[in-house]
Amino acid sequence: MRRFYLYTVLIAVLLFATGCEKKEQTLQEKAATQKNVIIDDAYVLLDNPKLMKMYREYNEGLLKDYDIDFRVITTAGEEDIDTFANKQFAKLQQESRSKSGKALLLVINTLQDKVRLEVSQALEPVFTDAFVSYIERKGFVPYFRDYKIADGVYMATELVHDRATEAAAGKEFVPPMASKSIGGGAKTKAHIGIADPDAKKGAQVAANAADTPMEVFERYLNVLKAHNKNPNLDIYTDATKAFFRKWTVTDINQDHEIHNVAPCKAHYETLYDTKDEHAVLAARPYDKYRKCAPYFFKKEEGKWKLDIATMAQTLRFNAQMAFHFDKQKRLQKEGKYYAYAFDGYWLNKDGYPYKYDKAAKEWSKYRWKYTCNGYYHPGDKKEDMHCWIRYALPGGPANVRLGLEGGEKIYGFGEEGNRKMKVTIRELINYLNSVPSGEVATVVLEHYYLNGKETHNFDAILNPNIEVRYETRQGIAP
């Protein structure tokens, strides 16, 4: 479906050639530093670009913060893995990015079903053979069993980063030295695709109708401490049970979660929604480190249960374990029911919550806290003016619960069957104000595309190739 729209846009662009050259040079340098960071000759990693992107972020953090050059090679060759790793390690050291000889090489041989992590002499006091063997067997090999090799490599990188952080805090790194020999390391059976029959076992843990979300949370911590990996625990929502049946959980995962949550317990408060159907344990105000991640709960069968499935959908963590939101997914499915807990916090471009303290008092009288400019479709009358979001107060309900931002155009509202399209500003305002608190509000956004890319800068009369798409956005009314 193609339609014509007309609006005027004024753009001021200042383009400096030197700035472009500097940006290009930066990109070239970045590409050079990532050369041969991953060599996927067995073709088991690079088909998962999201995980590999996360891996590279951790990898660059290792180099920047700790001068550790961490490489990964997958192979399906017949050469003995020890000999192969020895040769590759020596070869890669010729182009090492580390200035102090701190190097790691993870080799995965899918044919021989083996994995080896090589450690340079400069890192042996930190990454001992016993420690390396432990993270291989308990850390990422469980992912290999489920044939989630990319997940396993990412987990290995995360564990290496955590160990480096701890060692740096304890000043355990040895002085810089040359790294021409293999040094320490450990290898183990990879068990690729060989399911562990004991991987998802554990005693049942019941939820009671009288339990508060905090009490359920305490039981969950005991589950972690016991390394209970039963996906069908009664303290989980049905969606979370289904999630854990497919998800790989390791002892190290559980130990790390306990470690991260321990300093947060005293700061958590329980935030309930208006219908007493959802709750969030949150440590507010969120400080700049954002180490205390929120926990979501949903009432099922009259009992509060952990909704880790929605947490996994909406929350993300960086290399420093600071939580942030996946902005594209945070309001999808069940996610929209937890947005209320973040009223007053706006999300930056990467999804990190920030407290917005500049709200003027006059905003207090507005329920959704947004303003509209007007726009028209061809043939519209003056009274047909539609809402072009001029401003959505950062941290306000329109911004937090519906994800609205300045520049977005509202074309319709209501759910299927009761949907009204091509609505006016007044109709939109009346609709949003009429939705009862705690109920779902639905708006339809209008997006313009040119050659497959979203655009706001066009003249429809001069360019008839504009494509119009519609997006349904839902949120819970304040």
pLDDT tens digits, 178-213: 443 334 556 677 778 788 888 899 999 999 999 999
The domain that contains 443 carries what CATH number?
2.30.42
| Residue 140 per-residue DSSP state | I
Would you state the pLDDT for residue 392? 95
Q: What's the domain range around 452?
A: 361-476
Based on the domain organization, do 328 and 370 belong to the same domain? no
Based on the domain organization, do 331 and 365 belong to the same domain? no
Based on the domain organization, do 365 and 463 belong to the same domain? yes
In a domain, 194, yes or no: no
Based on the domain organization, do 322 and 183 belong to the same domain? no
Q: How confident is the model over 139-180, as pLDDT tens digits?
A: 878 899 998 999 888 888 888 888 888 888 874 433 344 443
Would you state the pLDDT for residue 338? 98
Is the bond preceding residue 285 a cis peptide, omega within 30 degrees?
yes
Query: How many distinct structural domains can be found in the chain?
Result: 3
Domain boundary among 335, 355, 375: 355
In a domain, 249, yes or no: yes
In a domain, 260, yes or no: yes
Would you state the pLDDT for residue 315? 96
In a domain, 427, yes or no: yes
Domain boundary among 139, 174, 189: 189
CA 90 to mean position of chain CA atoms: 36
In a domain, 316, yes or no: yes
Based on the domain organization, do 128 and 247 belong to the same domain? no
Domain boundary among 295, 323, 355: 355
* Torsion angles phi and psi, residue 404, rounded to 5: -75, 140
By C-alpha distance, which of 371, 383, 465, 475 is closest to 422?
383
Based on the domain organization, do 303 and 411 belong to the same domain? no
Based on the domain organization, do 48 and 174 belong to the same domain? yes
pTM for this entry: 0.80
Residues 268/283, Cβ–Cβ less than 8 Å: yes
Using only C-alpha atoms, the chain has a radius of gyration, in whole angstroms, of: 26
**N-term to C-term CA, the chain:** 35
Based on the domain organization, do 414 and 380 belong to the same domain? yes
> What distance in Å separates the CA atoms of residue 37 and residue 60, rounded to the nearest whole number?
10
Mean of pLDDT values over 43-64? 86
Based on the domain organization, do 219 and 343 belong to the same domain? yes
The domain that contains 123 carries what CATH number?
3.10.310.50
In a domain, 4, yes or no: no
| Residue 336 per-residue DSSP state | G
Say which range, 166-175, 176-185, 387-396, 442-451, has the weakest mean pLDDT.
176-185
Say which range, 103-112, 349-358, 404-413, has the weakest mean pLDDT.
349-358
In a domain, 97, yes or no: yes
Based on the domain organization, do 366 and 350 belong to the same domain? no
In a domain, 24, yes or no: no
Residues 447/456, Cβ–Cβ less than 8 Å: no
pLDDT surpasses 80 at 17: no
Based on the domain organization, do 338 and 372 belong to the same domain? no
Would you state the pLDDT for residue 364? 85
Cβ burial, residue 95 (10 Å; 0-12/13-18/19+):
exposed
Based on the domain organization, do 259 and 244 belong to the same domain? yes
